[in-house]
Amino acid sequence: MTDGLQVLFIEDDELVRHANVQSLMLGGFDVTGYPSVEAALDAMHAAGAGVPGAIVTDVRLPGASGLELLSLMRERAPDVPVIVVTGHGDISMAVQAMRDGAYDFIEKPFSSERLADAVRRALERRALQLENRALRRELAAQRPDTVHIIGTSAAIEQVRTMIANVAPTDAAVLINGETGTGKELIARALHEQSARRDRPFVAINCAALPESMFESEMFGYEQGAF
């Protein structure tokens, strides 16, 4: 479920970084380690890798801190889970990080199992978000009328079914209803699901046309008729 989602692990202590990156790789994660926030951001920009699946970052780092990275991700990619790693005595900082939108925090020293569990849950959450977006796009492409017709009642579902049955035919359709009930909305849904969907949809306010001009406006006229 989390295939293809990369993890960024940011830690300035080289031994700690290598040990945890290796541990996550042995756990089946696609992970890359960086010594600083700046190095991680530069690598993403240079490779054009885009948004990662999840980020694990120490709070205290040379240059930008882990909390500054968290703030940056909240602005640029708020759906990416950020796991904050804190040292002993930084609990208040971790609490603040959670308030600022961190997905989780891990207190040093931590076990490889604790780290792997947090990363796995973060990636599963990210994968679900991406899957939901893809399903919404697919549904919108398959059912154009759902973009316009809102509602889940039995009556609305009956209207949708009727539109789906009538739209593929060449039958002339008369839509009756009071002002504001959505007659044009139904007409557009019929057009979007018909064989003429690639042609223009033209809405005409007949009441605004003078009676003497109605026939010529609707059906055209010969040059010089007037």
CATH of the domain at 106: 3.40.50.2300
Higher pLDDT, 211 or 194: 194
Answer whether residue 211 is part of any domain. yes
Mean pLDDT of the 144-158 span: 72
The CATH number given to whatever domain includes residue 203 is 3.40.50.300
For residue 178, pLDDT over 80 is answered with yes
pLDDT of residue 40: 92
Give CA–CA dist 53/2, Å, rounded.
Answer: 8
Domain count, the chain: 2
Place of tokens 């609490």: 95
DSSP class of residue 85 equals E
pTM for this entry: 0.61
Which domain range does residue 109 map to? 6-141
For range 8-17, the mean pLDDT: 94
Q: Average the pLDDT over each of 70-79, 93-102, 182-191 and give the range with the smallest value.
A: 93-102
Could you tell me if 133 and 174 lie in one domain? no
User: Per-residue pLDDT averaged across 164-170, rounded?
Assistant: 88
* Averaged pLDDT for residues 144-154: 67
d(CA 86, CA 89): 8
Q: Based on the fold, state whether residues 17 and 119 are members of the same structural domain.
A: yes
Task: Return the percentage of the chain with pLDDT > 90, whole number.
Answer: 35
With 80 as the cut, is the pLDDT of residue 159 above it?
A: yes
Residue 226 domain flag: no
Task: Supply 149's token pair.
Answer: 């017709």
- Among the ranges given (42-46, 133-137, 221-225), the one the predictor scored with the smallest mean pLDDT: 221-225
- What's the rounded Cα separation, in Å, for the pair 139 and 161? 16
Mean pLDDT of the chain: 84
Question: For residue 102, which of 130, 73, 141, 140 has the smallest C-alpha distance?
Answer: 73
Q: How far apart are CA 93 and CA 74, in angstroms?
A: 17
Q: What is the mean pLDDT of residues 155-167?
A: 87
Query: Who wins on pLDDT, 67 or 97?
Result: 67
